[in-house]
Amino acid sequence: MFLRSTDIAKLGGAAKRSLTLLQMFLVASGAILVLGALALSSVLTHSLKTQAVADRRASLTEYVDGVLRADLVSDGRLRTAPSISGRLLGELRAQPDLVTVKVWRNDGTLVWASRGKDRVGKRFPLTAELGEAIHENRAAADIDELNSDEDALESNLGFDHLLEVYAPIASHGSVVGAYEIYADPAGLESAIASRRHLIWGAVAAVFLALYALLALLVRTASRTLRRQTLKLREHSAELLVAYDRLERNSLEAIESLNATVEAKDPYTAGHSQRVQQIALAIGEELGLSEERLDALRHGGLLHDIGKLGVPDAVLTKPGRLTDEEFEQIKHHPEHGACIVKRIGRLREAVPAIRHHHERWDGRGYPDRLAGTAIPLEAAIIGLADAWDAMTTDRPYSRARTAEGALAEVRRGRGAQFSPAVVDAFLAAAWKRPDVFRLDVLEYESYAAGA
């Protein structure tokens, strides 16, 4: 299949759209990668913080339980310590980030505290975390601000937030109380921050590398697409030149064949050119577009090329044709259409060639079309063909006078010929009598009599 110039332009437009889509894909991919990097970094940072807090909770709980259990848990019960042991305080202070330790009974009574001796023995409402540790046997920890009444002492120590750990105290399979441990989170937060930076940096590096690789792939694809498009356009242009050359050669061959048809019969010499000129004059009178006039130009010139398939004995017979011979003649519009339709430049002329022997009343051939079903170009060529036949000497008939031929055209209006085409024919004949081989005085005389 050959490409036309419009196809090449569409090809260039398609290539530009493909390049634009690649650029949009790169931008969209960059946005998706950024969102993915942010989401992944957030998830990893949260997991890091959760794990770090859990590890610190476990280590603090294990240490505090090792120091206090022997003095506070006895016979499966949590007893209230009569005083704060200096030994216990010394062991607890061995952990430099440990701020305060409280020991709670199940009913919310504070039974021991490393700071605030006056609070011991008092009962406080259980917080959510402390209640979960006691009633659900579940440890919890988080870095929080100090905002409850029983946290007042810790607030006065200069901390605005602390690592709070709540751990159940179990004895003989049951929970007898809970530890509430406050620790300075500075070291933990520093470790989390350094690891967070590492995570964000690593994720950013990985995603930047992915984006760079994607950008490189898109760039390579764009270059390849541009290069292939350029080659394809160059190849298509070469094909277009070759196609145009082939069409010109084919058209010349068709015109040579058409000349061969006329050369068989000296009586029809110049017939095709005359039909072409008359048809163009009528088409211009009707105000047809350049494209339709071009179809008339080719259709008028090649309307009889199908006679190549008619035997010479029939085509050049000097007398009247028999019915069988006339049937052979009647196939020439179909043969002509089949010959011409293979040439791209002539395709618009195919309907005009096939139907130029149709009649307005539907009694024509080959398809017995009637009225406006007949292509206008075919109706124009049909009248031009009939006019030239009437005004040219033939072996079986003498040329009619201008007056007789014009009268025949008028009689055929609405029967053999399209009324609009007849009106345009008469107007064009008045304006350009030389094209119709009319003498001006003859036409004026006829018009006056009509």
CATH of the domain at 386: 1.10.3210.10
DSSP label of 118: G
Comparing CA positions, the residue from 377, 430, 432, 386 lying closest to residue 405 is 386
Name the phi and psi angles at 356, rounded to 5: -75, -5
User: Any idea what the Cα angle at residue 305 is, between residues 299 and 306, rounded to 5°?
Assistant: 110
In a domain, 191, yes or no: no
Cα–Cα distance between 122 and 204 in angstroms, integer? 53
Coil, helix or strand at residue 439: coil
Q: Is the peptide bond before 375 cis (omega within 30 degrees of 0)?
A: no
Cis before residue 395, ω within 30 degrees of 0? no
pLDDT of residue 3: 46
pLDDT (tens place) for every residue of the chain, 450 residues total: 444 555 555 555 666 777 777 778 878 888 888 888 888 889 998 898 889 999 999 999 999 988 888 888 877 788 766 555 667 777 777 777 888 888 999 888 888 888 877 778 888 888 888 888 888 899 998 888 776 655 666 667 777 788 999 999 988 888 999 999 999 888 888 888 888 888 898 888 988 888 888 888 888 877 887 888 788 778 877 777 776 776 676 667 666 666 666 666 655 668 888 999 999 999 999 999 999 999 999 999 889 888 888 887 777 777 777 888 888 889 999 998 998 888 777 889 999 999 999 999 999 999 999 999 999 999 999 999 999 989 887 666 678 888 889 999 999 999 999 999 999 999 999 899 889 988 755 555 555 555
DSSP H or E stretch at residue 406:
helix 402-411
Element (H, E) at 166: strand 161-171
Looking at residue 365, the DSSP 8-state letter turns out to be S
Locate tokens 């006829």: which residue? 446
Place of tokens 């200069």: 158
What H or E segment, with its residue span, contains residue 180?
strand 174-183
CA angle (66 as vertex; 64, 72 as ends), nearest 5: 80
* CA 115/CA 112 separation, integer angstroms: 9
Q: Which among 103, 409, 181, 101 has a CA at the least distance from the CA of 282?
A: 409
Question: Which residue's entry shows tokens 């010499």?
Answer: 269
Q: What span, in angstroms and rounded, lies between the C-alpha atoms of 238 and 228?
A: 15
**215 domain-assigned:** no
Hey, is 342 helix, strand or coil? coil
Specify the pLDDT at position 99. 87
Q: Does some domain include residue 94? A: no
Length of the chain: 450
DSSP-assigned letters across all residues of 134-161: HHS---EEEEEE--SGGGHHHHHTT-SE
In a domain, 36, yes or no: no
Residue-range definition of the domain harbouring residue 305:
264-449
Q: Are 267 and 395 in contact (CB under 8 A)?
A: yes
Is there a contact between 328 and 311 (Cβ–Cβ < 8 Å)?
A: yes
Q: Collapsing DSSP states into helix, strand and coil, what is residue 401? A: coil
- Total structural domains within the chain: 1
Q: Please report whether residue 432 resides in a domain.
A: yes
Regarding beta strands 161-171 and 140-145, do their DSSP bridges make them parallel or antiparallel, or are they unpaired? antiparallel
* R_g of the chain computed on alpha carbons: 52
Going from the C-alpha of 189 to that of each of 15, 167, 311, 417, the distances in angstroms are 55, 21, 106, 101
Closest CA to 207 of 366, 50, 82, 32: 32
Is the residue at 113 inside a domain? no
- Euclidean distance between CA atoms 204 and 37, whole angstroms: 7
- CB neighbours (10 Å) of residue 424? 21
Per-residue pLDDT at 253: 66
Please check whether residue 122 lies inside any domain of the structure. no
Q: Where are the beta strands (DSSP E) in 6-133?
A: 73-74, 77-78, 98-105, 110-113
Phi first, then psi: give them for residue 66, nearest 5 degrees.
-65, -30
Is the residue at 336 inside a domain?
Answer: yes
Q: What is the dihedral of CA 151, 152, 158, 163, to 10 degrees?
A: 0
